[in-house]
């Protein structure tokens, strides 16, 4: 599978949570096989830091894009 094929699937927003030190949003494919979770750090009430992304393939989490891309090559 290529990265383009991964992102061209039908995605649904599963949840969003806003905490004191971080915001997190999760999207999942219709079949539940893949998920993406974006985390954004909060510096204070109105100032946000950088966003980082975790990928999930069939229940296994990949915390770097490089390792994620290696894993989807085999699908």
Structural domain containing residue 59: 3-72
Predicted TM-score (pTM) of this structure: 0.84
d(CA 2, CA 6): 6
What does the pLDDT look like over 29-43, one tens digit per residue? 999 999 999 999 998
Structural domain count of the chain:
1
Q: Count other C-beta atoms under 10 Å from residue 9's C-beta.
A: 13
CB 35 within 8 A of CB 26: yes
Q: What confidence tier does 9 reach under pLDDT thresholds 50, 70, 90?
A: very high
What does the pLDDT look like over 55-73, one tens digit per residue? 999 999 999 999 999 999 9
Is residue 44 pLDDT above 90, yes or no? no
d(CA 18, CA 1): 33
**Spatial CA neighbour of 8 closest among 29, 25, 27:** 29
d(CA 57, CA 49): 26
């Amino acid at each position: 599978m290529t990265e383009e094929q991964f992102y061209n699937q039908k995605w649904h927003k599963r949840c969003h949570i806003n905490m004191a030190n971080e915001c997190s949003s999760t999207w999942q494919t219709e079949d539940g096989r893949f998920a993406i979770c974006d985390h954004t750090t909060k510096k204070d009430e109105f100032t946000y830091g950088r966003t980082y992304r975790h990928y999930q393939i069939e229940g296994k989490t990949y915390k770097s894009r490089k390792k994620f891309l290696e894993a989807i090559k085999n699908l």
